[in-house]
Amino acid sequence: MSARIHTGVFVSDVDLLSATTAVREAGYRIVDAYTPFAVHGLDRAMGLRPSRLTWVCFLCGLFGLAFMTWFQYWSSAVDWPINVGGKPWNSWPAFVPVAFEGTILFAGLGVVAALFIRAGLRPGREAKLPAPRVTDDRFVLVVASSQGDQAPDELGALLRSHGAVEVSEDLEGTLV
Amino acid sequence: MFEAVSELRTPLTTEPVSYGQVTDDIARPMEGKPTRLWYIGISISATFLLLGAIAIIYTITTGIGTWGLNRTVGWAFDITNFVFWVGIGHAGTLISAVLFLFRQRWRTAVNRSAEAMTIFAVLCAALFPLIHMGRPWLAFWPLPYPNMRGSLWINWRSPLFWDVIAISTYFIISATFWYIGLIPDFATLRDRVSGMRKKIFGFMSLGWNGSARTWMRYEVVYLLLAGLATPLVFSVHTIVSFDFATSVIPGWHTTIFPPYFVAGAIFSGLSMVLTLMLVARRVMRLENYVTKSHVSAMCKLIIGMGGIVGLAYATEFFIAWYSGNDYERFVFMNRALGPMAWAYWIMVSCNVIVPQFFWSKRLRANLGVVFALSLLINVGMWFERFVIIVTSLHRDYLPSSWTSYTPTLIEVVTLLGSFGLFFTLFLLFCRFLPVIAMGEVKGVVNYTRRSASRSAQEPTPENEA
């Protein structure tokens, strides 16, 4: 990537939010922000689209419900029907609790698996931190500018004016 | 611009703290040497755990005859303990999931330890049906796996089997919820420590780097899990109550059982959270995060849940009379006035009368009193399950089989052993994992405080180092 990558380090979430809004309004591309906690409103400031994980959760739950309902029916009415107290083979009201638990189990585990895949979280993955202390008390905004070498300090000045305590430039683009 | 500042609301920490200070305060107990109190606590709980292990080994090698059960009272101490521990677990989910959905931001101080409590309590609960089986090495039989006997599938119509599925699902989802909450904190710890611990935390944190995109997805998943855990917690104790309600024993065969059990579970769990919160805040020196207003909020929840439990007792009694059924009427009169009346009145005084003291603001602020009252409620809720189980069984339809029940030493030691297991796990958790969700507390330290400008958050010499 030939774009120049600027990294601004902030000490407060409020500064990060105002910087993010300003940088985006100025037309730069925000690569990502890094924060020690979930800063509310940051997704809107960065212009992120709402996550589709809710759909994954819904579909996994639906699958769990269908699968557990079918499995209970198949095993007690088709594969080996057993007379339990004269109840019908397909005594479906008694299958409701297990079908419900199956729904929750599949939905919960499915959405967590989807999160891990989508966010690339996996055991043994090396964490690439844009700046030290970003998991402690620092907020980092990574911005790409395609302006080339002229006006080198425009973006840096903008970040600084919104409270960045440290601005660095990373020409290699190693972070992205 | 982005923050609502209200002068009317109280901040959630006693003193204003910076983000770095939050990390330091919460990570400190894990990095230094444990306090003397911690060593004393773990020695006592590990001793109980060991005694319990001996009792369980004796039970399994000798047989269930080591217990005080007889032909009339076939369920007693162990199922009481099972229902008690499952109930304890439920408040953890209530605090972590239900209060999250209600946007109760004070929960951040207690949710981590409440979730840990849920997991440990469910482990303690699972122990009892397992040893009651008599042959615990066959415990996998209730699972629906393809087998060499046909396949002979399990009986899906049995409430006892629903219980197996409900408790396993509850354990898996609670553990997942807990771990998801821990990931950002593992990353914080990974970036603080060195050596072997860095490797372990690095492995556990799955390469978390605080990216805002990941945070956004993470928040969505957290909300979804909270939304799934809430109906789950209600379903689990409903199904536990089905173990009783679907039978034809007077005193068990009632439609009030599901809501009654759920309310009782949350009530007992809240008092256990309160007990643990007061211990952890003292032992781990987290007074600034777990404040008196947290304790007060918990007390208010207890008043509410205690009221529901009291109403359930009254309703149950009224309906027994109103049903016109002689057996129902007898069971309830026998509970209140029969040979086990002492247990019934311990239950009523601890669960209905004790919470009323929490109406007083002065008593809520006195942590010693709150601690004592929370212990009494724990006792009362244990007796509630004992009363439901034993008094309904010991006088059955046929007066010739009427009998009584006394626990043997082995059963009492097994119960103490489960407390030993619970507190040992809890103290290990306090020592090796962050007891307060750092990532969440940092989001609320400025709650209702006018702050967050550059000057206010400027690093000071202390937290710079």
Q: What is the pLDDT of residues B106-148, one digit of tens each?
A: 777 778 888 888 999 999 999 999 998 888 888 888 888 888 8
CA distance A149 to chain B (A): 28
Question: Which DSSP state fits B7?
Answer: S
Q: Does B228 touch chain A (CB under 8 A)?
A: yes
Q: Nearest C-alpha of chain B: how many angstroms from A140?
A: 9
By C-alpha distance, which of A42, A63, A156 is closest to A107?
Answer: A63
Which has the closest alpha carbon to B58: B150, B121, B148, B131? B131
B441, two tokens: 């507390």
Contact B348, B381 (CB under 8 A): no
The pLDDT of residue B375 is above 60: yes
Q: Are B297 and B106 in contact (CB under 8 A)?
A: yes
Report in angstroms the alpha-carbon separations of B125 from A91, A146, B112, B134, B429: 30, 60, 20, 16, 19
- Of all residues in chain A, the one with the smallest CA distance to B190 is A135
Of B191, B217, B228, the CB nearest to A118: B217
Q: Which of B173, B192, B207 sits opposite A104 (nearest CB)?
A: B173
- Assign B463 a pLDDT band (cuts: 50, 70, 90): very low
d(CA B31, CA B288): 19
- Name the residue facing A12 among B162, B217, B453 (closest C-beta): B453
Residue B311 CB-density burial (10 A; 0-12 exposed, 13-18 middle, 19+ buried): middle
Q: Smallest Cβ distance to B454: which of A12, A54, A101? A: A12
B19-31 and B159-190 helices, crossing angle to 10°: 110
Instruction: Give one DSSP letter per residue of B444-458, joined into a string.
Output: HTTTT-S--SHHHHP
CA distance A119 to chain B (A): 6
| Pairwise CA distance, residues B82 & A76, whole Å | 29
Across B91-101, average pLDDT: 80
CB B214 within 8 A of CB B205: no
Average pLDDT value for residue range B163-181: 91
B157, B233, B238: which to substitute to probe chain A, counting the most A Cβ within 10 Å?
A: B157
Which chain B residue has its CA at the smallest distance from A41's CA? B2
Between A130 and B266, the higher pLDDT residue: B266
pLDDT of amino acid B15: 62
The CA-CA-CA angle for residues B367, B370, B374, to 5°, reads 140
Q: Output the pLDDT for position B408.
A: 92
- B191 vs A42: CB contact, 8 Å cut-off? no
Q: Which chain B residues contact residue A41 at CB under 8 A?
A: 2
Higher-pLDDT residue of B453, A54: A54
Tell me the CA distances in angstroms from A144 to A21, A23, A28, A141, one per residue in order. 14, 10, 6, 10
pLDDT at A145 > cutoff 60: yes
* Tokens, residue B180: 């998801």
Which chain A residues touch B157 with a CB distance below 8 Å?
Answer: 76, 84, 87, 91, 94
The answer to whether A159 touches A8, Cβ cutoff 8 Å, is yes
Does the pTM surpass 0.90? The reply is no
Chain A partners of B440 at a C-beta cutoff of 8 Å?
Answer: 37
Note whether B214 contacts A101, CB cutoff 8 Å: no
| The pLDDT of residue A34 | 87
Q: B173: which residues sit within 8 A by CB, 6+ positions away?
A: A104, A105, A108, A109, B225, B228, B229, B232
Which of B165, B176, B442 minimises the CB distance to A108? B176
Rounded percentage of chain B residues whose pLDDT exceeds 70? 92
Task: Express each pLDDT in B405-449 by its tens digit.
Answer: 888 999 999 999 999 999 999 888 888 888 888 877 777 776 545
The reply to whether B210 touches chain A by the CB within 8 Å rule is yes
Using CB atoms, which residue from B20, B232, B458 is nearest to A136?
A: B20
Sign of CA dihedral A157, A158, A163, A168: negative
Instruction: Concatenate the DSSP letters of all residues of chain A into one string.
Output: --SEEEEEEES-HHHHHHHHHHHHHTTPEEEEEE-SS--TTHHHHHTPPPPSHHHHHHHHHHHHHHHHHHHHHIIIIIIS---STT--TT-GGGGHHHHHHHHHHHHHHHHHHHHHHHHT--TTPPP--SSTTTTTT-EEEEEEE---SSSTTHHHHHHHHTT-SEEEEESS-TT-
Which chain B residue has its CA at the smallest distance from A47's CA?
A: B213
Q: Is A127 in contact with B190 (Cβ distance < 8 A)?
A: yes
C-alpha distance from B247 to closest chain A C-alpha (Å): 13
Verify whether the Cβ–Cβ distance B187 to A135 is below 8 Å: yes
CB contact under 8 A, A112 and B3: no
Residue B50: the pLDDT is 96
pLDDT at B188: 87
Rounded CA-CA distance A174/A55 in Å is 33
Residue B16: predicted pLDDT: 66
**Mean pLDDT across B223-228:** 90
Q: Determine whether the interchain pair A11/B458 forms a contact, defined as Cβ–Cβ distance below 8 Å.
A: yes
Domain ranges of chain B: 36-139+157-435
pLDDT, average across residues A88-109: 92
Q: Is the pLDDT of residue B280 over 70?
A: yes
3-state secondary structure of B301: helix
The residue type of B420 is: G
Residues of chain A found within 8 Å of residue B17, distances taken between Cβ atoms: none
Cα B162 from Cα B187, distance rounded (Å): 38
Q: B458 in contact with A at a CB cutoff of 8 Å?
A: yes
3-state secondary structure of B214: helix
Among the partner-chain residues B20, B151, B456, the one whose CB lies closest to the CB of A137 is B20
- pLDDT of res. A151: 57
Per CB-CB distance under 8 Å, the chain B contacts of A55 are: none
Domain A4-50+128-170 has CATH 1.50.10: no
Amino acid letter, A10: F
Strands A166-170 and A4-10: antiparallel
Q: Which of A41, A82, A135 sits opposite B2 (nearest CB)?
A: A41
Q: Looking at beta carbons, which residues of chain B come within 8 Å of A163?
A: 454
Domain ranges of chain A: 4-50+128-170, 53-119
B5 touches chain A (CB under 8 A): no
- B241 Cβ under 8 Å from any chain A Cβ: no
Per-residue pLDDT, averaged over B353-367, amounts to 90
For residue B11, name the pLDDT band (cuts at 50, 70, 90).
Answer: low
Predicted pLDDT at B464: 40
Residues in B closer than 8 angstroms to A116, CB to CB, are: 206
pLDDT over 70 (residue A148): no
B371/chain A closest Cα distance in angstroms = 33
User: Which long-range CB contacts under 8 A does B312-320 form with residues at least 24 apart?
Assistant: B312/B256, B312/B259, B312/B260, B312/B263, B312/B264, B313/B348, B313/B351, B313/B352, B315/B256, B316/B254, B316/B256, B316/B260, B319/B254, B319/B256, B320/B251
Question: Chain A residue closest to B236 (CA)?
Answer: A101
Specify the pLDDT at position B322.
92
Query: What does the pLDDT read at residue B342?
Result: 92
